Amino acid sequence: MLKMTDDFMRMALRELEQASYSHEQWAERLYGTLICRAVPDEADLRSDAHRLCAFGHWYYQTGSVALGSHPGFREIGMEHERMHQCATKLLKASRSGVAVAPADYQRFVAALKDMNLEIATVREDLRKALFNLDPLTGAPSRAGMLSALREQQKLIRRGGVCSVAMLDLDHFKTINDEYGHMLGDKVLIGVARCVMEHLRPCDQFYRYGGEEFLICLPDTDVAAGRDLLSRVIEEVTALPFEVECKQAFHISASVGVADLDQKQPVERSIDRADKALYMAKAQGRNRVITWDGSMG
Annotate the chain with three-state secondary structure.
CCCCCHHHHHHHHHHHHHHHHHHHHHHHHHHHHHHHCCCCCHHHHCCCHHHHCHHHHHHHCHHHHHHCCCHHHHHHHHHHHHHHHHHHHHHHHHHCCCCCCHHHHHHHHHHHHHHHHHHHHHHHHHHHHHHCECCCCCCECHHHHHHHHHHHHHHHHCCCCEEEEEEEECCHHHHHHHHCHHHHHHHHHHHHHHHHHHCCCCCEEEEEECCEEEEEEECCCHHHHHHHHHHHHHHHHHCCEEECCEEEECCCEEEEEEECCCCCCHHHHHHHHHHHHHHHHHCCCCCEEECCHHHC
25-82 pLDDT, tens digit per residue, is: 999 999 999 999 999 999 999 999 999 999 999 999 988 888 888 889 999 999 999 9
Which domains can be identified in the chain, with CATH numbers? Answer: 6-131 (1.20.120.30), 142-295 (3.30.70.270)
Residue 5 — pLDDT band, cuts 50, 70, 90?
Answer: low
Query: Which pLDDT score is estimated for 2?
Result: 55
- Of 28, 118, 211, 234, catalytic: 211
211 is an active site residue: yes
88-143 pLDDT, tens digit per residue, is: 999 999 999 999 999 999 999 999 999 999 999 999 888 877 778 888 998 888 88
pTM recorded for the entire structure: 0.67
